[in-house]
Amino acid sequence: MSVARIDGGVILTLKQARKLDVYFEYEEKIMSKTTLDKSLLDIISDPDGTPEDKMRLFLIYYISAQQAPSEADLEQYKKALTDAGCNLNPLQYIKQWKAFAKMASAPTSYGSTTTKPMG
């Protein structure tokens, strides 16, 4: 019984230290297109939270956005993520994935779709 209490205490301490409830709230707001209390750049730059939580939050934003951020904005986000200790490889992967998905969903025309009579 005491082990369960210790484990529960450790989990609660980790949850509070990582502010998972706060990140969960931000993620929900991003996915539902609700206005955030703070800017995403401020959240990423905040010393609280782990690099993994910050990267996950940004990726949710990046995937959920109808339009990708401008290159200038993306550079600011990348700098803030790097300063927060984030590995940018997941972002590069998602950028490539989004570009591929966009290409795959784009209508293509391989020539005329009309039938020409023979002869």
Query: Distance of CA 17 to CAs 43, 86, 95, 101, Å?
Result: 15, 18, 30, 37
On whether the CB atoms of residues 81 and 94 are closer than 8 A, the answer is no
Q: What is the pLDDT of residue 1?
A: 47
Return all residues near 113 (Cβ < 8 A) that are at least 6 apart: none
Residue in this structure with the two tokens 């109808």, named with its chain if needed = 66
Under the banding of pLDDT at 50, 70 and 90, the label for residue 63 is: very high
Residues 6+ apart with CB under 8 A from 21: 15
Cα distances (Å, whole numbers) of residue 87 to 12, 35, 119: 26, 27, 63
Which pLDDT score, from 0 to 100, does residue 89 have? 97
Question: Residue 56's pLDDT is what?
Answer: 96
**Model confidence over 17-57: pLDDT tens digits?**
578 888 899 999 999 999 888 999 999 999 988 999 999 99
Mean pLDDT of 89-105: 90
Query: What is the chain's mean pLDDT, rounded?
Result: 84
